[in-house]
């Protein structure tokens, strides 16, 4: 059974550019969440989607946005990149109603470096 797939694995961007990260959840999983991991701030929640609707949003500026498609695949976009956006971005998926009982399954992440 395929896991959560994130692409690309690594990315280097310049300040001011924008970036789009992709996440394909486990087949049948309809809830997709995004997290940012940095050495200084740890793991922080960005947003969660179900059926193309954002149900929860973390405390990030509007430069961070996301969406989910009808096949449950999700993308997140960061515009006007700043050096502080350098991080590991993790995507996680779960079965909607079983999520709390099983937790979320995480992808391998996208390592974004902003120079």
Partner 1 sequence: ELKVEQNPLFLSMQEGKNYTIYCNYSTTSDRLYWYRQDPGKSLESLFVLLSNGAVKQEGRLMASLDTKARLSTLHITAAVHDLSATYFCAVLPSGTYKYIFGTGTRLKVLA
Binding interface with partner 1 (CB under 8 A): 31, 33, 35, 42-45, 48, 50, 55-56, 58, 90, 92, 99-109
Q: Which of 80, 76, 82, 78 is nearest to 114 (CA)?
A: 82
Report the nearest approach of partner 1 to the CB of residue 3 (Å).
9
Q: Which is nearer to partner 1, 3 or 16 (CB)?
A: 3
Smallest distance from partner 1 to CB 5, Å:
11
Question: Does residue 111 contact residue 12 with C-beta atoms inside 8 Å?
Answer: no
User: CB of residue 70 vs partner 1: minimum separation in angstroms?
Assistant: 19
Nearer to partner 1 by Cβ, of 14 and 101: the residue is 101
Cα angle 23, 36, 15 (rounded to 5 degrees) comes to 95
**Rounded least distance, CB 62 to partner 1, Å:** 18
Instruction: Indicate the residue among 41 and 71 with the shorter CB distance to partner 1.
Output: 41
H or E segment and range at residue 69: none
Name the token pair of 54: 């954002």
∠ CA(35), CA(37), CA(43), 5° rounding?
70
CA 90 from chain centre, in angstroms, equals 5
Using the minimum distance from each CB to partner 1, give the nearer residue, 50 or 114. Answer: 50
């Amino acid at each position: 059974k395929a896991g959560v797939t994130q692409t690309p694995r690594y990315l280097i961007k310049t300040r001011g550019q924008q970036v789009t990260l992709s996440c394909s959840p486990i087949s049948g999983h309809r809830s997709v969440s995004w997290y940012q991991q940095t050495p200084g701030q740890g793991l922080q929640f960005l947003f969660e989607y179900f059926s193309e609707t954002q149900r929860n949003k973390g405390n990030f500026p509007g430069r961070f946005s996301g969406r989910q498609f009808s096949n449950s695949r999700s993308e997140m976009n960061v515009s006007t990149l700043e050096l502080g956006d350098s991080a590991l971005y993790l995507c996680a998926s779960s079965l909607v109603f079983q999520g709390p009982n099983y937790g979320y399954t995480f992808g391998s992440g996208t390592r974004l470096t902003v120079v």
